[in-house]
Amino acid sequence: MMTRAASNAVDLETQAMTMATQAMARGSSVSEMLAVARSVQREGTVIMNIANQAKADALIAYESGAGALLVNNIRNLLPQFANLQLVGIPSNSGEHVHVVAATPKDIEHALFWAAGNSKSQSLGPAMEKYWNESHTTVMHDDKLAVDDPDEETECYDAGVCLCSPEGKKLKRMANKFLAYAKLICPFGSTKRGELRDGKFVVRLIGRPASYEDCIGGEIVDVWCHIGFQSLSPFRPTFMGVRPVADVGELACDRTWA
């Protein structure tokens, strides 16, 4: 979804083209048309700067409000995360928390301090133990036995029950999606290759069936990247993404993260 600022920038570009066309029709000079173009470009830059500042302010407000509450709830539920630096991230697909990793400078300071205080603390031995445990080869005879299922049913293969009424409805919806994907990406076409190479992002929208249920009902609106597409069997693997502002690095007008 385009932001208001991006939409305004597109409108400005359209206005610039219109003004340039009119100027050429009136016989205006190249310098006059360049002056008009620079004016429109400056106005577009101002609009984008205002939008970026508004996004930054909204992010700060979220991190100090709802984001801080989310982090506090996670730390209460998972005490082992109490010492991690967590930051709430606004998202259209659930609640997200970013774990702020230590900077290389922080690691350098910690190692320098540990080297100079090896007799008064156990950081060095603890790191050596962790390294050894992380790089120990797990022998076949030492691994935990995993019992294979007696029968790999359709529900087992799908990872969700397809026998219930909700499951049967889900299966019908999935089959419709696969049929539509095959329709727009036929065998041997360029789009089939792009689908296989992970160049497709889809938007899934769900809403209550009746108008009465729409009042107060939940509307699902999620974006998914088809990161891997198996062709036989024809089965996509999705990864949740969200639209973000265009970073100007790609030819398309939409970027996902």
Please say if the pLDDT value at position 9 is more than 50: no
Type of residue at 104: P
Look at residue 242 and tell me if it is in a domain.
yes
Look at residue 192 and tell me if it is in a domain.
yes
Task: Give me the long-range contacts of 41-48 (CB less than 8 A, separation at least 24).
Answer: 43/12, 44/8, 44/9, 44/12, 44/13, 47/5, 47/8, 47/9, 47/12, 48/5, 48/9
* Rounded CA separation 137/140 (Å): 9
Look at residue 237 and tell me if it is in a domain.
yes
Look at residue 172 and tell me if it is in a domain.
no
Look at residue 108 and tell me if it is in a domain.
no
Total tally of structural domains belonging to the chain:
2
Confidence at 251, pLDDT banded by 50, 70, 90: low
Distances (CA, A) of 128 to 121, 138, 139: 13, 18, 21
> Last residue of some domain: 72, 99, 126?
99
Look at residue 28 and tell me if it is in a domain.
yes
Selection from 219, 225, 218 nearest residue 205 by Cα: 219
| Contact present, 55 and 206 (Cβ < 8 Å) | no
Hey, how many other C-beta atoms are within 10 angstroms of the C-beta on 94? 7
> Last residue of some domain: 74, 99, 124?
99
Confidence at 10, pLDDT banded by 50, 70, 90: very low
* Confidence at residue 233, expressed as pLDDT on a 0 to 100 scale: 86
> Last residue of some domain: 69, 99, 129?
99
* Confidence at residue 62, expressed as pLDDT on a 0 to 100 scale: 80
Look at residue 174 and tell me if it is in a domain.
no
Please say if the pLDDT value at position 4 is more than 50: no
* Confidence at residue 221, expressed as pLDDT on a 0 to 100 scale: 86
Please say if the pLDDT value at position 58 is more than 70: yes
* Confidence at residue 250, expressed as pLDDT on a 0 to 100 scale: 62
Q: What is the reported pTM?
A: 0.39
Look at residue 126 and tell me if it is in a domain.
no
Q: Which residue range forms the structural domain that includes residue 250? A: 186-256
Please say if the pLDDT value at position 26 is more than 50: yes
Type of residue at 174: A
Confidence at 154, pLDDT banded by 50, 70, 90: confident
